[in-house]
Structure 1
Amino acid sequence: MQDTMLLGLEGIKKNILHGGTGDIPKFITGAKVTFHFRTQLCDAERTVIDDSKVVGTPMEIVIGNMFKLDIWETLLSSMRIGEVAEFWCDTIHTGIYPLVAKSMRRIAEGKDPVDWHIHTCGMANMFAYNSLGYDDLDELRREPKPLYLSLELMRVQQPSEYDRETWALSDEERLKVVPVLHGHGNKLYKQGQYQEATQKYKEAIICIKNVQTKEKAWEVPWLKLEKMANALTLNYCQCLLRMEEYYEAIEHTSDIINQHPGDFKAYYLRGKAHAEVWNEAEARQDFSRVLDLDPGMKKAVKRELAVLNMRMEEKNQEDRNKYRGMF
């Protein structure tokens, strides 16, 4: 069906390629929409930028959840189930597409779309800002162009018809689910299921960070959320220690210490991680800092120092035995 029409919005034209069935669904706040999409340049070759069918996984968004490419909500709300339509969208609607596409591609590659756990120096961050990691998206960001967005509407589920994952929650709902995830993580930790516990802690941290980005940095609401996130990150680090991921634990605790140098728990866990990788001087320095910040930790620190002394003596003896045979 080649029925071209305008949606009543500047910079959008719709062309129905295959008609759907029934009435247009109710796209109310909280409804989950499942659809396939293909994005193409408006050039002679109709160059394909992204295609969810090639990836093999349809896209899901929740209406009213402030998805970055909000024009999708507008386009989808004009469609029926089973309909396939092509939309020409001017740059006023597609300027942010490269950033959204980067996140979608990282998800498809099995990577974290926000890289919350990856830390780089300021110089590296500067270069990262200048590149999205995909040449075609970098080019599209430098020179925004109109795009063809082809959509196939597969399903619309009302809020009561599906179990909502944390990404589909409102900010208020995210904050309510954080203590639930925290509790599940603690239970899994006590059961020795450390990998599973890290997933619960990480999910809770992401919920908090999503809400925190909407607060002004270093003001009271932001600091309350920061305190919650740090507590969960330290729990996450305890799991890392149990999983012998010592360097990642050092990385996360160092981040907390750099922002909040009075957090004695971060020094304590970093000291334990340093001790495990034979960083004796760093471990002793961290444990000393713990005592400065909280003298009540004296017994725990004394125990860790005793373990450190024993481990260093064992290592020194191993080194002596190894070098003795060389001369």
Structure 2
Amino acid sequence: MLESFVKSRKLLAPGKGDVPEYKNGTKVTFHFKTVAIFDGKDQQQQQQKTTDDHNHNNDHHHHHHEHKDTVVDDSKESGKPMELFIGKQFKLPLWEEWIKDMRVGERSQIDFEWRFCGDVYPMLSKSYRNFCKPSLEAEYETEETRRKRQSSHCCGGMQSQRSYGYDDLDHLVGHPPTRLQFTLELLTVEPPEKVDKEVWLMGEAEMVKEVPALKAEGNRLFSGKQYEQAAYRYRKALAILEQLMQREKPNDTEWLEYDRRKVPLLLNLAQAELLLGEFYHALEHAGEVVGKEPANVKALFRRGRANAAVWNEEEARRDFAAVAALDPSLGPLVKAELAELEAKLKAREAKESQLLKGKLFSSS
């Protein structure tokens, strides 16, 4: 079904060259514009009016009844293109399939009925908007707020879950349009191997400058909840530091300095990986920090969470105990993590004994 939509898209600008090879892990940047269209009748004529493009935005406000067609998002206005990694479960499969058929520079348009994308688009829009103006919360704070949010979801009923945090998105969901009209413009396509090649070709001064820039960009993406994109920046910065270290003598001043700079990047990467559900990677990266700094509380806490996620009960308990001993103020947080681990173990035990006995095993 998606393929027929993609093939029948309206071409506004054809793009250049061949359609690139979109291997898994390819990084794509593109501009997008989304217009909510409320009138089911007279689609063609209306489409004509709406497509007169970015410069003539005002045309399509004249011809309406109760609900005007509304521009929901326009990345050119926000000044930040969207990023997507091919094969990484993008929220809106239509866009990924569409992009895989595009040439660089192409601008095209597809109308998609609300009933096919109404459950997904508001989420996508929300995460894009957060990415544009992220709120920088402290990390431990996000742990706490994550818990509060989870518990309020259980007790607070549906009310709190319905809001997307943006009035216009809530309004759109409450008063759904007939369809959404998407316009995409493909800007860049980077194959996965390009990153390593880029790093390899960089001069030393350029490398040194690039590390803090990548870290800052990664943090901005992270606080906009774009974890996949943030992790990409952290990995690239770490790859650069590895390259720089190879040019120095191990344990020399410069070498040690580069090694020290890996720590915050590894910590941030581990946190992103926890949130992406990549627990074994998080375990490895948090563990690397503990190897360098055995008393690093953040590293121990993250390794503990990763251990708990992959059922390493002993190791998780050991990490959490170390956290509580090093920083008693984190006691409540550790308690909560241990309670969560207990609950998970109990649930698994109950399930196993149920399988064994064929009937529910109850213990007080």
TM-score in terms of structure 2 length: 0.42
Could you say which structure has the higher helix fraction? 2
Who wins on radius of gyration, i.e. which is larger?
1
